[in-house]
């Protein structure tokens, strides 16, 4: 038997934390012991793991003694508050928040793209933004084959991207609409039912949002292409789960739609669903709960010499968050980096 690891999930009772637990079990990660860490609201509660009930512990400064790997999904402010205590305990933190993604000495990793960057860690490995992960998994094989010169992406992001409260607001608005009651707006800037909101996170002075610039800056870092030309528009849509993206990719070398399909059919973490004659294309309702990023509507852009249009859908709670973090832990375990 290989090495086993003492693992802690920080933010264990959140949507992503619970899926991290499930994926550790599903993929049989070599867990010796597990800690579920949450706020005082969860004190006295339990979570199941590998057929046994485990007490949920209240997150504190001493929570990390004896822990090898911390899977963190408790938010950027909490990660910043506790990172010193994690590092002092000689644990590795794989952080799902935006806290450390753009730090020069913190690797930002998608295992299908840059697993070797895990070896550069100084105790912290960052998990990218969910929309960035969903975008780049299918772009990497295209970049390797033909060198991407420009990317234009528009996202259609589910309410679960705003957390459990975002999903609950959509569901409540559906119930209120059916009952003929007034719709309450709290989590989003506007009613999300029967609507699209072209605004995710805060606006910068240049008119872009923080979410859009996360996609730009994180893509450049992960792909090791600091000059990559990429622009994004991010939109919240009234879906419960899974983000969709319309992507236009320009390349240095021309690729046909068939060549792109062939590349993606062989790519790790990608499922091609592209049969327009039988109305087969990725949709969030059907991709939810799946691990792969799904790609369809692959076609040549007739308005440009060397460009491809694609439609990409991925479950942002799994590959866009929990699964990617566990895959990073698998790289760490496989390469003996911890």
Tell me the catalytic residues. 130, 243
Closest CA to 162 of 134, 194, 197: 197
Can you tell me the distance from the alpha carbon of 252 to that of 148, in angstroms, rounded to the nearest whole number? Answer: 6
Q: Distances from the Cα of 205 to the Cαs of 188, 210, 315, in angstroms?
A: 21, 11, 31
Q: Which helix (H) or strand (E) holds 222?
A: helix 210-222
Q: Which residues pair with 312 in a beta bridge?
A: 245, 295
Distance CA 338, CA 331 (A): 10
Burial of residue 44, with CB atoms counted within 10 A of its CB: 0-12 exposed, 13-18 middle, 19 or more buried: exposed
- Chain-centroid distance of CA 276 in Å reads 28
DSSP symbol at 322 = I
**How far is Cα 290 from Cα 254, in angstroms, rounded to an integer?**
31
Q: CA distances (Å), 136 to each of 89, 223, 311, 326, in order?
A: 33, 8, 13, 18
| Alpha-carbon span 128 to 96, nearest angstrom | 7
């Amino acid at each position: 038997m290989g090495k086993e690891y003492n693992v802690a999930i920080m933010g264990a009772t959140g949507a992503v934390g619970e899926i991290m637990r499930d994926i550790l079990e599903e993929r049989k990660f070599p867990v010796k012991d597990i800690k579920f860490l949450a706020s005082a609201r969860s004190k006295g509660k339990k979570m199941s793991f590998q057929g046994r009930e485990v007490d949920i512990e209240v997150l504190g400064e001493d929570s990390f003694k004896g822990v090898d790997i911390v899977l963190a999904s408790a938010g950027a402010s909490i990660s910043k508050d506790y990172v010193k205590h994690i590092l002092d305990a000689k644990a590795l933190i794989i952080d799902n928040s935006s806290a450390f993604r753009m730090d020069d000495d913190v690797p930002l990793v998608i295992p299908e793209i840059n697993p070797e960057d895990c070896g550069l860690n100084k105790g912290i490995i960052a998990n990218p933004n969910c929309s960035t992960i969903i975008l780049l998994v299918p772009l990497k094989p295209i970049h390797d084959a033909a060198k991407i010169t420009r990317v234009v992406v528009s996202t259609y992001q589910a309410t679960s991207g705003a957390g459990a409260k975002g999903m609950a607001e959509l569901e409540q608005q559906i119930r209120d609409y059916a009952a003929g009651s007034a719709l309450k707006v709290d989590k989003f800037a506007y009613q999300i039912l029967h609507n699209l909101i072209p605004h995710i996170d805060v606006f910068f002075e240049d008119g872009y949002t923080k979410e859009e610039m996360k996609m730009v800056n994180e893509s450049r870092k992960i792909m090791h292409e600091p000059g990559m030309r990429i622009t994004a528009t991010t939109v919240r849509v009234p879906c419960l789960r899974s983000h969709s993206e319309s992507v236009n990719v320009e390349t240095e070398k021309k690729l046909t739609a068939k060549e792109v399909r062939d590349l993606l059919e062989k790519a790790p973490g990608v499922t091609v669903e592209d049969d327009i004659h039988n109305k087969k294309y990725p949709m969030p309702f059907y991709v939810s709960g799946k691990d792969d990023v799904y790609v369809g509507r692959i076609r040549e852009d007739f308005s440009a010499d060397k460009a491809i249009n694609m439609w990409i859908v991925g479950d942002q709670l799994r590959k866009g968050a929990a699964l990617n973090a566990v895959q990073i832990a698998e790289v760490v375990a496989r390469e003996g980096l911890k």
